[in-house]
Amino acid sequence: MFSFKRLNTQFNILVGQHAARHSVALAALLVYFIFTHFTFTPSLVLSDNNPFDNFFNLVALAAIGFSIDIFRTLRSRTAGIYYQMIPATVTEKWLAALLYTTLFTVVVFFVTFWLVHAFVITGANIVDPINHAYQFPEWSNAWNECKVVLFLQSIFFFGAVLFRKNPFLKTALIMLGTMVLFSIIMGLIIKHQIDVESVSFSFDSSKGIQGLELLEQFENLVKTLSVLSWILPFACWAGSWYRLKTIQH
């Protein structure tokens, strides 16, 4: 039977196990984030650009890395047996890992990054006569950005459970191969359906296929792929739960 107490215990175990390594990763990304505040001219000056422009890219990078790392104990037979002996159900272990690599990661990154940003801007306003404004991520596009983060996180989260050796490399190669195959198939379909030399289109996990909307014969395909881009994260999360349930050591 599901227990929130065991879920909380398992979540705290994950935080304790990964805090040191993931803090180093967070610190490295923070250094990059701090540098984005400045423009390197003959003298170092505060940039007018929004340092949060790449925030969700950094969160996606962290979510991928943390997802690959969260199940590293499964890659060792001894550690895997110990993992299975933890007094928590598969669902509780899976949900704790999922929350850690999604909601917890996003919240920790946003709070930490904004506090650092506030410190930089406050310091600049103290020493600089120009009043610099505090910035935030572009909220109007935040949901689409979060969907991209979850799209990528779900794939590597599944890959972390599915592959014991080199999960990142194998998952990345499968993604690359799928994209190449998709491009070839789409190219053949377009060439067969319409009499043009080339058609420009792109795929975005949060928006689906872009560039084909004017082609009425592809309307159903566009809608289907857009729906699939929504379904894929849930399918990967469900697949990771099933793999975690059936994995043998």
- Encode pLDDT of 159-200 as tens digits: 999 998 899 999 999 999 998 998 888 778 767 765 555 555
pLDDT at position 141 is 84
Contact 241/90 with Cβ under 8 angstroms? yes
Q: Rounded distance, CA 171 to CA 150, Å?
A: 15
Give per-residue pLDDT as tens, 100-140: 999 999 999 999 999 999 998 888 888 877 787 888 888 88
Question: What does the buried/exposed string (b/e) look like for 55-70 if buried means 16 or more CB atoms within 10 Å of the residue's CB?
Answer: bbebbbebbbbbbbbb
Q: Rounded distance, CA 121 to CA 124, Å?
A: 5
Question: Among 12-16, 22-26, 214-218, whose mean pLDDT is lowest?
Answer: 214-218
Across the chain, what does the average pLDDT equal? 84
Q: Using alpha carbons only, give the angle 115, 121, 127 rounded to the nearest 5 degrees.
A: 135
Q: How many domains does the chain have?
A: 1
**44-46 and 38-40 beta bridge pairing:** antiparallel
Question: What does the buried/exposed string (b/e) look like for 81-116 if buried means 16 or more CB atoms within 10 Å of the residue's CB?
Answer: eebeeeebbeebbbbbbbebbbebbbebbbebbbeb
| Percentage with pLDDT > 70 across the chain | 84
Q: Which residue has the higher pLDDT, 100 or 35?
A: 100
Q: Rounded distance, CA 97 to CA 84, Å?
A: 14
Burial-class residue 140 by CB neighbours within 10 Å (0-12, 13-18, 19+).
exposed
Q: Where in the sequence is the domain holding 191, given as residue range(s)?
A: 4-246
User: Binning pLDDT at 50, 70 and 90, where does residue 41 land?
Assistant: low
What is the average per-residue pLDDT within 73-77?
Answer: 77
Question: Among 83-92, 159-168, 226-235, whose mean pLDDT is lowest?
Answer: 83-92
Which of 70, 68, 67 lies closest to 166, judged by CA? 68
Q: Which residue has the higher pLDDT, 223 or 116?
A: 116
